[in-house]
Amino acid sequence: MIIITVTSLIGSVLIGGFLVQILQSAQNEQFIKILLAFSGGFLLSIGFIHFIPELYEHSSAQIGLFILLGFLIQLILEFFSGGIEHGHVHSHGGKNVIPFAVILALGAHALFEGMPLGNQLAGGDIATSQHHHENDFSLLLGIVFHRIPVAIALMTLLYQRELKPFVSWIILIAFAIISPIGMVIGYYGQNSLEGFDLDIILAIVVGMFLHISTTIIFETSENHKFNFIKLLSILFGFGLAYLLH
C-alpha cells in the first residue's frame, strides 16, 4: 500500500510534466480545464458525502473550525501561488527566473495533503474510530486527480519563464516528492502524537479541498456558462466520488 501511494503521488506529477511536452500550449489550456473540472467535482463530492460526515461522526464538534482553517490557509497560499492550483498560469515575471513564491505555496499545500495519507497507512488494521479512514482510497484518488493538472500548469509556467528543461524537471521532481514527505510526517505522527486528534489534519486538508474545488467549478465557466464537455467532466467527478462512497 505504501509503494502504491508513493508511486501514485510521484507518478501523477511526472505524468503532468510529460503531457506538457506532448501537447501544444493551446491544447494544454483546454486539457487543464477539463481535468480541473473533473477533479473539482470529485474533490467537492468526497468532501461533502464522505469526509465531512465522518469527521463530525468521529471527532469533536469543533472540527468545523479546522475545516474553516484549511479553507483560509488555502486562501492565503493562493495569494502567493497566483491560483495555479486551479489552473491559473500567469506568464508575467522575468524570463529565466524561478517562481519561488509559486513553488513554496504549492509545496506547502502538497505537504499538508500528504499528512492524512500517512495517518491512514499508520492505522494498519487497528479497528478503532481514530483509524476509520485507513482503507479508504478516495483521498488518494482526489489528490492524484488534482496533482496532474496542477503539474501541467506548473510545468507550463516554468516553460513560459524559459527555464532550462533540466531546471524545470528538477523543480517538478522536487514538487512530486513533497507529498510523500508529508505522508512520512503523518505516518510517524500517527504513532508518536498520543492524545492528539489526527483528524484535525484531515479536516484542514478537507477545508483546503473545499476552497480549491469550489473555485475550480466556478472558474471553469466561460462567461458564466459551462460548455458541455466541462459539465460532463464535473458530473463524472461527482459520479465517481459517489460510487467510491
What is the arithmetic mean of pLDDT over 118-127?
A: 60
pLDDT grade, residue 66 (50/70/90)?
A: very high
The residue assigned the cell 501544444 is 24
- Share of residues in the chain with pLDDT > 70 (%): 82
What is the arithmetic mean of pLDDT over 1-7?
A: 88
User: CA angle at residue 183 from 239 to 125, to 5 degrees?
Assistant: 75
In whole angstroms, give the CA distance from residue 233 to residue 39.
Answer: 8
Residue 3 has pLDDT above 80, yes or no: yes
CB 16 within 8 A of CB 213: no
Q: Residue 57: its pLDDT value, please?
A: 85
Q: Average pLDDT over the chain, rounded to whole?
A: 83
Residue 87 has pLDDT above 90, yes or no: no
Q: Residue 93: its pLDDT value, please?
A: 65
pLDDT grade, residue 143 (50/70/90)?
A: very high
Residue 19 has pLDDT above 60, yes or no: yes
Nearest to 117 by CA among 59, 186, 55, 50: 186
In whole angstroms, give the CA distance from residue 67 to residue 167.
Answer: 36
- Share of residues in the chain with pLDDT > 90 (%): 43
The alpha carbons of the chain give a radius of gyration, in whole angstroms, of 18
